[in-house]
């Protein structure tokens, strides 16, 4: 699934000597271009991908993770192919266990996983893949070859929990910053608030200026991730409301014109104020 994260992983694996394949049928022209640029070979069908692979990494928006696993599982059972399936998506431990129940079989070894960090082409040698499950050995071939593998033991859901906890703070903070700034802007306090932050919290203002205009580029998939985090917190007996609200902010960000841009086409000169104008305007939609 060679999107923003997946194509970078594929390129890193290929640069380290692996044969990397995918099925690009019905994928967007941008995804196809990313895949071709990364050197990922299009085998046209999922059947061909399974026949040609020892290891499948699922890297896609979290709301599609279970459906993808179900589709792959039906093919594995039909082909009777021995394979390892690594779910690298931003999902709750509960969802990871559902996927494990769906795809684990005499033919398929399931590994729960969570990616932390930027894609391996951007963050050379630093991207971490946390893994857990009864047999994580097959994915360790990627250690030092695109990922740093961190094994959390035999329990399915442990790696997903690590991803959820990490993203709850990072992306949750992005959402909080966007909510604070949008409120300040709508109330006509942006200049005064920025002035105060320059004086008292310059590092916070710098983080806001860097991330808030770019949230819409990923908000469509981050909304689903916030719901998975909320479920993780709820299952742990902690309020899910922080991240339910974060999901609302991702939904708002996805309504801005910035959401139609990509990492290749985003306006690099857009100011924080210009972005906030778009957030406030999106409140009307």
Residues 144 and 20 in one domain: yes
Rounded CA separation 8/30 (Å): 14
Residue 27 in this model has a pLDDT that exceeds 90? no
Element (H, E) at 84: strand 83-87
How many CA within 13 A on the CB side of residue 192?
Answer: 6
Domains in the chain, number: 2
* Each residue's pLDDT tens digit, 131-158: 999 999 999 999 999 999 999 999 999 9
Residue 218 phi/psi, 5° resolution? -120, 0
89 and 170 assigned to the same domain: no
Structure tokens belonging to residue 28: 């967007």
User: Are 100 and 166 members of one domain?
Assistant: no
Residues 81 and 180 in one domain: no
245: tokens are 């609200």
Residues 112 and 170 in one domain: no
Q: Which of 155, 170, 205 lies at the terminal end of a domain, its last residue?
A: 155
> What is the pTM (predicted TM-score) of this model?
0.94
Residue 229 Cα distances to 40, 58, 69, 132, angstroms? 31, 19, 20, 18
- Cα 281 to Cα 185: distance, rounded to the nearest angstrom: 11
Is the pLDDT at 26 greater than 90, yes or no?
no
Q: What CATH number did the domain enclosing 166 receive? A: 1.10.1040.10
The rounded distance, in Å, linking the Cα atoms of 7 and 42 is 12
Pair 26, 124 in one domain: yes
CB 102 within 8 A of CB 69: yes
Calpha distance 212→258 (Å, rounded) = 11
Spatial separation of the C-alpha atoms in residues 11 and 240, rounded to whole Å: 36
pLDDT one-digit tens code per residue, 215-266: 999 999 999 999 999 999 999 999 999 999 999 999 999 999 999 999 889 9
| Cβ partners under 8 Å of residue 65, min gap 6 | 58, 87, 89, 91, 95, 99
Where is the domain boundary, 155, 182, 207? 155
In terms of residue numbers, what domain contains 221?
Answer: 161-282
Q: Which of 155, 182, 202 is the last residue of a domain?
A: 155
């Amino acid at each position: 699934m060679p999107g923003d994260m997946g194509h970078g992983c594929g390129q890193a694996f290929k640069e380290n000597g692996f044969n990397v394949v995918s099925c690009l049928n019905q994928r967007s022209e941008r995804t196809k271009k990313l895949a071709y640029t990364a050197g990922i070979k299009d085998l046209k069908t999922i059947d061909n991908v399974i026949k040609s692979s020892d290891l499948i990494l699922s890297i896609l928006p979290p709301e599609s993770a279970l459906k993808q696993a179900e589709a792959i599982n039906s093919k594995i059972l039909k082909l009777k192919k021995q394979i390892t399936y690594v779910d690298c998506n931003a999902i709750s431990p509960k969802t990871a266990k559902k996927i494990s129940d769906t795809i684990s079989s005499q033919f398929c070894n399931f590994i729960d996983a969570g990616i932390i960090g930027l894609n391996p082409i951007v963050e050379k040698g630093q991207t971490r893949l946390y893994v857990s499950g009864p047999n994580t050995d097959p994915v360790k071939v990627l250690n030092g070859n695109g990922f740093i593998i961190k094994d959390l033991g035999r329990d399915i859901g442990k790696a997903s929990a690590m991803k959820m906890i990490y993203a709850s703070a990072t992306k949750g903070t992005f959402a909080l910053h966007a909510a604070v700034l949008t409120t300040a802007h709508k109330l006509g306090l942006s200049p005064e608030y920025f002035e105060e932050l320059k004086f008292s919290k310059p590092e916070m203002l710098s983080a806001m200026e860097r991330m808030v205009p770019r949230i819409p580029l990923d908000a469509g998939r981050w909304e689903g991730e916030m719901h998975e985090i909320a479920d993780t917190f709820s299952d742990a007996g902690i309020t899910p409301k922080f991240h339910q609200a974060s999901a609302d902010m991702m939904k708002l960000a996805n309504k801005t014109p910035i959401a139609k841009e990509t990492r290749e086409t985003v306006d690099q000169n857009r100011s924080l104020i210009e972005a906030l104008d778009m957030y406030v305007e999106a409140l009307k939609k």
